[in-house]
Copies of this chain bind each other. A is one copy, B any other.
Amino acid sequence: MTDTALHPFDRAVALQPVAGQPNLYEGHTSQDYWNMVGPFGGVTAAVLLQGALRHPQLLGSPVSLTVNYAAAVVAGAFQVEAIPVRTNRSTQHWLLQLTQADETGEQQVTTTATLVTALRRETWSLTDLPFPNLSPASDFEPMSPAAKGVAWPKQYEMRPVSGAFPTKWDGSGETSRSQLWLRDAQDRPLDFLSLAAMSDIFYPRVWLRRATPVPAGTVSITTYFHTDAAQLAEVGSGYLLGDARAQEFRNGFFDQSAQLWSESGALLATSNQIVYYKE
């Protein structure tokens, strides 16, 4: 199988172990998921998660992932370091870092992350949030391709239900909430990696709330995974329902809280991020 036979997402998150360094991997940024000044942050989160998921010492599956975007990732090679800091009976704590070589060849940290994985057992369970009562995805039009130079939105089929990307930048915004149906544009069965990436799919709430295109970028994102491999397999390449809103915009930073539901109403992931904005 050639490289181009892979799904673009699998190419973007591909890592190669570095010989003799058990916690170290090499990867390469993907133009398919390029954002304005670096890769789509969701893919960077997935790449870091990948470092733990393919680690031979991995225990269980992801519960909580926090990714901190410390500096822009530039096009080219990078390294992922994945360190299992503490392994308990049923949980495991990871430190993850993405680094890139500077002009002198020294690796510099661009992104840090922490991850908790766990062996999960069946317990009493309950969804304590109502599943949004929306018409099916087929009732809504797919978003048209995004701005020039921004590739990643083309990798997703997004069908906004409410809070679509502003078409008039006239300061008329009234809400920070968006609901949309989404899935990979090219069929790919959902897994923890793509779920981590999709948690970052919501454009900055400040653009919606203000209908004003100020500079903005995610500083830190935390995603909680409420699912397992069996449920992910059931979802397959079906639609997810994404729902996101802000709570507080204050002096250069706002938060953004999101839910990702399966089409049948399973709350697969909840995610929060803090986003820088200007002016």
Contacts and interface: CB of A to CB of B under 8 A. Distances in A.
19 contacts: A63-B219, A68-B93, A68-B116, A70-B93, A71-B88, A86-B108, A86-B110, A91-B219, A93-B109, A114-B114, A123-B278, A124-B249, A124-B279, A127-B249, A128-B205, A222-B222, A224-B253, A247-B270, A250-B267
A108 to B, nearest CB: 8
A126 interface: yes
Interface of A: 63-64, 66, 68, 70-71, 85-86, 88, 91, 93, 95, 108-110, 112-114, 116, 118, 120-129, 176, 205, 209-210, 219-220, 222, 224, 226-228, 245-253, 255, 257, 259, 267, 270, 272, 274, 276-279
Contacts of A124: 210, 249, 279
A38 to B, nearest CB: 14
Report how many copies the assembly holds.
Answer: 2
B93 A112 contact: yes
B270 A255 contact: yes
A63 B93 contact: no
B63 A248 contact: no
Contacts of A88: 70-71
Given A210-B124, A251-B228, A70 B95 contact: no
Nearest to A210: B124
B68 A114 contact: yes
A109 B125 contact: no
Contacts of A116: 68, 219-220, 274
